[in-house]
Amino acid sequence: MNQNTNIFNKMMSMDRRWVFLLLIIVCVAAYFAPFSIPILIEPEVERVYNFVDTLAPGSIVFLAIDYDPASLAELHPMTYVLLEQCFRRNIRVICTALHPNGPSMAENAFLEVVDSCKVDKTYHGKQFMGREVVNGIDYCFLGYKPYPALVILGMGTNFRLPFPADYYGRPIDSIPMMKGIQNYDQVACVVNISGTSGTEYWISYGQGRFGFPLALGVTGVMGAEYYPYLNSGQIFGYMAGMLGAAQYEKLAENDGKAVVAMKVQLFAHFLIIFFIIIGNIGFFMDKFSKKREGR
Amino acid sequence: MKRQIPVLLVFVFGVFMIFQYFSPHEYSEWIYKFLMDWIYIIGIFAMALGIWSLIHVSYDKIKNKRHDWGYSVVTLAALFIMMFFGITGFDENGEWGFYFMTQEGLTNPMFRNFFNHILVPIETTMFSLLAFFISSAAYRAFRARNVLATMLLVSALVVMLRFNPYFGEAVGLYMNKIAAWLLNVPNMAAKRAILIGIGLGMVGTALKVVLGIERGYMGKG
């Protein structure tokens, strides 16, 4: 084996610890570097934003938070920005968490957004005065119940069927915002933010049977999975991964963690592509070198 | 009889649930709600069985000092600590107590702290490691060895770079169009084929179970 072949082999089979080291350096450097990247908007994300933004004050958005801390980085920013958009526009929210670890994720999001809404802010040139967002008046958190398919079907008949009380144990009928609210007929749309296959239940048992407008927010790895439902019209909008979250933040003029994380993701992708190119150069040069040597 | 009764029950309830889906009649709705309650009750018993099984297996491992028995101590400690904080809490008057039937425990500060400061960092760290393994796997696996592998490689690169803001408007637009085509045409065609296959498979399996042809759920094929 000559020296060239040796170099090409090294290019093809670099110790993975170098890959790990370079990746962490790039991620940390990109995170702390003081620059921002432009975020281009996809129409499927814009449709979710426009739908929520054009709802009349007092309308109800049903938010299904079905993820655990593993998907926090990608999905929490979607929940935050959507909740803040709703509360700023006086849109009420009913929320469930059909993943066992979902209730605490949802509760954390509510607590933070409720705090954030106390401050005056301006979005798209319009000033929104800070206000107290009240549990039971502005939102109702129903919590967790096992068997998502059954819960989704049950809520189609009446929210009280799977959830006689909310997450905090208050009977649904004693919650002011739930007066007169029976089932999906009274909600403007359902937004399912999910890191699990529970999304399919919302499509099959929820949208399929009850016909409500459904939008999805999913993790990057699930991104390619749900395009068929978008084109078939079963979902009206779609946010996939960190990119989807960052696009929504940009649309809402409410830059948060996703916009910052996008620059980290972009440079991590550059590094991965660099490694792929290096590996392929090594592969072809090695092949060429062996061919020339007649091996 | 040991086999006929379960098969009969599955047939009766299976056929009922098929027709119930299309019937808005009051009685049909009532039976449907009644059966849903049953499923929750069965689920709760299944959860109790799962907890018992976890305790039994972990206790056995600790008692016999089997390999890595220390992890079982942590498992049991975590289980009991979270259970303890989940069923204890402070009422409206600030008095501490046990709450088996109500949900005060869910707002217990220790329950929240254990979730926010132990479970969240553990799970996010585990998931973050995926980025490193994916990078390493992509570097090793994405080789243009043949036509199919090259197509996979090029598709992956285009989708990864579709929203790269440094390409400029013209290149970025074409990149985005190609990526959108990849996601909306070949990806969707493949996914639809898989989904239709899964759907038909589910209907077939369900019919086999309802008609008593498939009896694997009874422990024997």
Given the structure tokens 């849903």, which residue do they identify?
A: B36
| β partners of residue A127 | A122
Considering the domain architecture, whether residues A127 and A100 belong to the same structural domain is answered as: yes
CA-based R_g, chain A, Å: 23
Which residue of chain B comes nearest to A22, CA vs CA? B132
Considering the domain architecture, whether residues A30 and A143 belong to the same structural domain is answered as: no
pLDDT of A2 reads: 61
pLDDT of A5 reads: 65
Considering the domain architecture, whether residues A277 and A213 belong to the same structural domain is answered as: no
Q: B97-115 pLDDT, tens per residue?
A: 888 777 777 788 888 899 8
pLDDT of A115 reads: 95
Instruction: Please check whether residue B24 touches A, CB under 8 A.
Output: no
Comparing C-alpha atoms, which of A158, A153, A135 is closest to residue A98?
Answer: A153
pLDDT of B106 reads: 79
pLDDT of A294 reads: 74
ipTM, 2 decimals?
0.82
Domain boundaries in chain B? 1-70
pLDDT of B51 reads: 94
Measure in Å the smallest separation between the Cα of B67 and chain A Cα atoms: 28
Please state, for a pLDDT cut of 70, what percent of chain B lies above it: 99
Work out the angle at residue B52's Cα, subtended by the Cα atoms of residues B47 and B54, and round it to the nearest 5 degrees.
Answer: 95
Distance CA B136, CA A293 (A): 30
Considering the domain architecture, whether residues A117 and A65 belong to the same structural domain is answered as: yes
pLDDT of A1 reads: 53
Distance CA B148, CA B200 (A): 29
The answer, yes or no, to whether residue B128 has pLDDT greater than 70, is yes
Contacts of A161 in chain B (CB under 8 A): 33, 36
- Predicted confidence band at B56 (pLDDT cuts at 50, 70, 90)? very high
Element (H, E) at B201: helix B186-210
Is A111:A78 a contact under the CB 8 Å cutoff?
no
The answer, yes or no, to whether residue B221 has pLDDT greater than 60, is no
Distance CA A265, CA A262 (A): 5
Q: Which tokens in the block code for residue B135? A: 């990078």
Considering the domain architecture, whether residues A175 and A283 belong to the same structural domain is answered as: no
Considering the domain architecture, whether residues A82 and A169 belong to the same structural domain is answered as: yes
Q: B184-200 pLDDT, tens per residue?
A: 889 889 988 998 999 99
Report DSSP state, residue A174: G
Distance CA A95, CA A106 (A): 8
Under an 8 A CB cutoff, do A276 and B139 touch?
yes
Distance CA A277, CA A284 (A): 11
Cβ-Cβ pairs closer than 8 A, A with B, add up to 131
Of B102, B139, B153, the CB nearest to A19: B139
Considering the domain architecture, whether residues A127 and A68 belong to the same structural domain is answered as: yes
Structurally, how many domains does chain A consist of? 2
Position A183 in a domain:
yes
Considering the domain architecture, whether residues A138 and A11 belong to the same structural domain is answered as: no
Element (H, E) at B5: helix B4-20
Considering the domain architecture, whether residues A149 and A249 belong to the same structural domain is answered as: yes
Contacts of B176 in chain A (CB under 8 A): 40
- Predicted confidence band at B40 (pLDDT cuts at 50, 70, 90)? confident
Task: Name the A residues in 145-164 with CB < 8 Å from any B CB.
Answer: 145-147, 150, 153-154, 157, 161-162
Task: State pTM to two decimals.
Answer: 0.87
The enclosing domain of A162 has a CATH number of 3.40.50
Q: Which domain holds residue A277?
A: 3-34+264-292
pLDDT of B175 reads: 85
Which of A11, A270, A273 best probes binding to B when mutated, by most B CB atoms within 10 angstroms?
A: A273
Position A259 in a domain:
no
Of B36, B132, B195, the CB nearest to A23: B132
Of B47, B115, B135, the CB nearest to A19: B135
Instruction: Please check whether residue A228 touches B, CB under 8 A.
Output: yes
HSE, side-chain direction, 13 A CA sphere, residue B97: 11
CB atoms within 10 A of CB A99: 21
Distance CA B221, CA B88 (A): 46
Which residue of chain A comes nearest to B126, CA vs CA? A70
Instruction: Please check whether residue A276 touches B, CB under 8 A.
Output: yes
Which of B135, B140, B173, B196 best probes binding to A when mutated, by most A CB atoms within 10 angstroms?
A: B135
Instruction: Please check whether residue B184 touches A, CB under 8 A.
Output: yes
Spans in chain A with pLDDT lower than 50: none
Considering the domain architecture, whether residues A157 and A268 belong to the same structural domain is answered as: no
Considering the domain architecture, whether residues A131 and A171 belong to the same structural domain is answered as: yes
Considering the domain architecture, whether residues A223 and A137 belong to the same structural domain is answered as: yes
